[in-house]
Amino acid sequence: MPKNPRRRFLREKEAKRLLLEFSRKIGCDSEKIFRPKPRIEVLETQGTEFFFVDEKPLIARLNGLLFPTLVFNKALSLLPQIVVDMGAVPYVCSGADIMAPGVCNITGAFRENDLLLVIDERHGKPLAVGITLFDSQNMRKMEHGKIVKNIHHISDNIWSAIKKQ
C-alpha cells in the first residue's frame, strides 16, 4: 500500500450509486444491509478501492469488480455458497481458483459471473469470494476443471489491508 493513500468521503449521489450497484451485484435491496444514508469513505490504493461504510471496510473494488470483503458477514450470508473439502483449504487461502474435485456442496442458484462465497467443510468459515465460471446447474454436474475464479481470499492484500485498519 502506498505511504499516502487517498481517502475521502463520497458525496450523497456517489454513495447512492455505489449502494445501488452493490445491491444489484449481490441481489439484495441495500436498505436490508445498510442503514439509511450511511457515511461512506473510499480509500484508493494501488488498483483497489476500499469502501468504508460507517467506518468499516465492507466493500472493495478490484479491476472494476465490486464485491463484499470477507468481514462483511451480512452481505456474505446473501451469496450462494460452495463448500470445499479441507484438502482444498490451503490452496484457496493462497489464492488458487476453486476446482470441481475439491467441492463438497453447492448451495443456492446462480448464473455465470455471479459472486459466490467459498467456505470450508469443517468449520463453515468464509475463505474466499469468487466469481462463478458456470451457472449452478452446470456446475453441479462437473467433476473436473476450474469452476470459480478466486478474487478475494484470507491472507490476500485486501485482507491484510483490512486487518491493518
Residue 15 has pLDDT above 50, yes or no: yes
Per-residue pLDDT of 96-149, as tens digits, reads 999 999 999 999 999 999 999 999 999 999 999 999 999 999 999 999 999 999
- Set of cell numbers at residue 73: 458477514
Q: Is the dihedral of CA 16, 11, 6, 32 positive or negative?
A: negative
At residue 7, the pLDDT reads 85
Distance CA 155, CA 116 (A): 18
Per-residue pLDDT of 56-98, as tens digits, reads 999 999 989 999 999 999 999 999 999 999 999 999 999 999 9
pLDDT-wise least confident of 2-11, 16-25, 72-81 = 2-11
Greater confidence, 3 or 5? 5
At residue 3, the pLDDT reads 54
- Count of residues in the chain: 165
Contacts for 107 with CB less than 8 Å, ≥ 6 apart: 80, 81, 82, 83
- Long-range pairs for 134-142: beta carbons < 8 A, 24 or more residues apart: 135/110, 135/111, 136/80, 136/106, 136/108, 136/109, 136/110, 136/111, 139/100, 139/106, 140/106, 142/100
In contact, 52 and 40? CB cutoff 8 Å: yes
Q: Residue 6's pLDDT band (boundaries 50, 70, 90)? A: confident
At residue 35, the pLDDT reads 85
In contact, 61 and 48? CB cutoff 8 Å: yes
Contacts for 161 with CB less than 8 Å, ≥ 6 apart: 1, 45, 48, 50, 57
At residue 27, the pLDDT reads 86
Greater confidence, 160 or 153? 153
Nearest CA among 16, 53, 21, 15 for reference residue 34: 53
Q: For the chain, list the domains and their CATH numbers.
A: 6-72 (3.10.450.120), 76-158 (2.30.130.10)
Q: Residue 2's pLDDT band (boundaries 50, 70, 90)? A: very low
Residue 1 has pLDDT above 60, yes or no: no
